[in-house]
Structures are given as C-alpha cells and as structure tokens.
Amino acid sequence: MAIKTKQFFGTDGIRGTVGTPPITPDFMLKLGWAAGKVFAKEGGGRNKILIGKDTRISGYMFEAALEAGVTAAGVDINLLGPMPTPAIAYLTRTLRAQAGIVISASHNSFEDNGIKFFSSEGTKLPDEIEFAIEEQLAKNVSTVAPQLLGKASRITDAAGRYIEFCKSTVESNLNFNGLKIVVDCAHGSTYHIAPSVFTELGATVVAIGVSPNGLNINAQRGSTSPQQLAETVLAEQADIGIAFDGDGDRVIMVDHLGNIVDGDEILYVIARERSRLNVDFGGVVGTAMSNLGLELALDALDIAFVRSAVGDRYVMQELLQRGWALGGESSGHIICLDKTSTGDGIISALQTLAAIVNSGQPLAEITRKMSKLPQTMINVRITDSVDISANKKVQSAVSDIESKLGKNGRVLLRSSGTEPVVRVMVEGEDIDEVAMLALELSELVTSEVGSDR
C-alpha cells in the first residue's frame, strides 16, 4: 500500500518565500476556503475561525486573502491582528473557535511567510485534518449562497486577554519587584505584549526590538540573535535578559554576566524548580539535539529524561504519550503542558523567573549546576535525499568515535527536514577533540554522500 504524503503541509505548517508558490495571495485565498470547508463540517451551528499574524509586511496581504476564502466557505472570522502564535492557540480555545490560523514564518526573515493551524483545543492539527484540507485544495473554489457568507469582526481586546492569561500561569502572590529585565521582542508579535506582562508583575523593564516596520522582524534581534540582548543586559546592569523570536513561541535568556542561556538550560531551571517543590510533572522530553549535559544534570536530580526526534511536534507527541508536562528544544521552544497547550516563549520565561525569585538565586548560579558539554555541528550538503544510516563505512566511523568519547559523548547524524544537508554533530568532554572528530566525520560523510564528492 502506498504511503499517503502531504503536498503542502510540512512538520510545522506551510512556509516559504513570499511570491513563490505556495506562498502567494491566490493560494492563500484557496487555502482559506479549503480550511473553511473542512472546519464547517467539524463544528455545529455558526462556525468560527480566528486569524492572527506576526509583524511582517506580507501578513496584511495574506490576512485579506485568507479572510476572503474563509468567508466564501460560509465561516465567520475573528481577526486578532499581530499576536504571538501561542496567544492564537489560547484564544482559539477560549473563544470556542473551530480553528485558529497563524500567518507567520516564526524566526525567519521578513522575505518568508507561512501558515500554521491550531485545532479547537489549541493544539496542532492532526494529520487527518491536514489531509482533508489538501483534498479540498484540489477542488475549485465555490462560494456559498450570499445569505450564508461568513462575517468578519475584529477582537479589540485580544492582547489584554492574553496578557492576563500569561500572568495567571504564575502564583498570584508572586511578583518580580526589584528585578530589572531587558526584553527583546525581535520586532515581532510580542512587541506590545511581553513588556506589559513583566511590568505588570512588578519588574523594571528595558524593552528592545519593539519597533516593527514590517521589514525588520528577527533582524539582528530576538532569540536567534541574542548578542545585542547580552550587550544591553551588561550596559543596563540588568538582572536578566529575555529574547523571543518573531512569533513568540521561542525564548532564549541572558544572565546578569552576559552569558547566553539556551533552551536546554531553561528546561533544566524549570524542571529543577518543579522537583524542588515536589510538583508532579513526570519527566522531561528533549530531542536528539539536546545537550548531553542536560541529561546528566537531570539524572543527578533523579528526573527522568527521554529524547524525541527534532521538532516541537515530536516533543509534544512524546509528552502526550507519556503523560508528562515538560519538554523542549535547545532552540528555546519550551512546552509546559500544565500551563498551556503549546510552546510559549512568554510563559516559559515566566516559569524561569518564578524559579529565580522562589529560590533566591540568580540565573547564573542555577545554570552553573548544569555543565553543557562541548558540541560541534557541521552541515554537509547533499544533492539527493540519503539514508545515512545505511552507509556501512560512515556507521563504522561513528562507532569508533563513540568508543573514543565514552559514556559522556555522543555522535548524531541527521538529514535535515528543511534543507539539503546532513547534520554531523559530535559532543564530548574535550572541546578540541570534539571539533577534530566532527571535522573528520564530516569529511568522510562528504566523500561518501556529499554533493561535491
């Protein structure tokens, strides 16, 4: 039996360069219609879909196209304007909508854009719904009778609703009085929300990356470029720095010494605090890319740890299967299922700040208890999809390296799901040995499967 594959949906929605199919206005109109047809069958009575976006200039164009398509299918729309991706997940659930649509390309630059969907529960769509939407995309657009057309309205208090929700995820008696925080919003969708959340909880906030112009989202700001945040933390003599990506589902932090704190370390801080308070969260789900130092530090606290495939979708699957509440990626995509239904940068930052306040220790002191192992990753370009695990010569070399590294070392070979490369990662205790072994292995992979062999 042939395996059914999706034409448009990837592991995180649909994404690409604006103006290049499928990221075009005509496709977005049809996508809105197709989604409207599918979700009209899912709900009862008057159906409703929420649409939100980040701050990139093409969002206006695609918002209008989606609105036309959804209303043509006879489904109502609530327009949210610029809102973080996790806020749209939350509002989809609380406003009892059939679905939420996010217009965003996350941490990519403004030239890209994309679409993500949330179910009525505020979770990513199951495969069967994505397949159903793609089946509708193969049909011609048809408009319902005029009296059945969907209506569009704007939710004017969306930001305020989400701000209050974020604040509700920490104890009501907790405040951040005395903390000076630098908040970098990447000129993205948290620009009008994150500073208010932390200010209303008592912190002194220095906000950067809060002047979106449609073209500067993620430009030298945010979780993918935290250097400016680190410099500002030092210049302002702040206690902590917090950086979000363009759509607000990732967070990277900086301690008062200017050290960058990644998603692995944030996971450790949150897990350590929950363990200290005897909160039952099951264990922690990381990915194949999570630093071995996280695994070792959690083991020292008797906290269970497992790895999923790379991607927040797979972290979520593992959490749900195990009934656990905490997982994430090194990139800063942290999922706290006991607080919300999806990865949320602001809520993850709040859990970390709560740990700092409750423990009375600065972030630098807490993270010092987790020693990240040196890690080197090299991308080897390939021309065709390749199963690297089937190459006996490469696998023999991997076994030899793992023997040299011992129990505190790892080797990972992974074909990228987004670009034509094989990622060669080596991790161990000695930084020079790790770099040398990664280079040797990448050269072997290049000679065996690389595009320039």
**172 flagged as catalytic:** no
- Cα separation, 421 vs 279, in Å, equals 41
386 shares a domain with 359: no
Domain count, the chain: 3
Within 10 A of 168 (CB to CB), how many other CB atoms are there? 12
At residue 155, φ and ψ (nearest 5 deg) are -85, 105
Tell me if 315 is assigned to some domain.
yes
182 shares a domain with 325: yes
Tell me if 279 is assigned to some domain.
yes
Q: Would you give per-residue pLDDT tens digits along the chain (453 residues)?
A: 456 789 999 878 999 999 999 999 999 999 999 999 999 876 555 689 999 999 999 999 999 999 999 999 999 999 999 999 999 999 999 999 999 999 999 999 999 999 999 999 999 999 999 999 999 999 999 999 999 999 999 999 999 999 999 999 999 999 999 999 999 999 999 999 999 999 999 999 999 999 999 999 999 999 999 999 999 999 999 999 999 999 999 999 999 999 999 999 999 999 999 999 999 999 999 999 999 999 999 999 999 999 999 888 899 999 999 999 999 999 999 999 999 999 999 999 999 999 999 999 999 999 999 999 999 999 999 887 788 888 999 999 999 999 999 988 999 998 876 678 899 999 999 999 999 999 999 999 999 988 765
CATH assignment of the domain containing 36: 3.40.120.10
271 shares a domain with 181: yes
341 shares a domain with 194: yes
Boundary residue ending a domain (338, 367, 396): 367
The predicted model scores a pTM of: 0.92
78 shares a domain with 47: yes
- Cα separation, 336 vs 320, in Å, equals 12
Give the E-state strand segments of 281-365 in sequence order. Answer: 284-287, 305-308, 326-328, 334-336
> Could you tell me which of 436, 420, 440 has the C-alpha nearest to residue 428?
436
Tell me if 5 is assigned to some domain.
no
195 shares a domain with 82: no
Contacts of 158 (CB under 8 A, 6+ apart): 52, 80, 81, 83, 87, 91
Tell me if 3 is assigned to some domain.
no
Contacts of 299 (CB under 8 A, 6+ apart): 305
Q: What domain range is 328 assigned to?
A: 162-367
Amino acid of residue 332:
G
Cis peptide before 22 (omega within 30 of 0): yes
Tell me if 197 is assigned to some domain.
yes
Of residues 104, 106, 225, 330, which has the active-site annotation? 106
208 shares a domain with 136: no
Tell me if 363 is assigned to some domain.
yes
126 shares a domain with 21: yes
Report CA Rg, the chain. Answer: 23
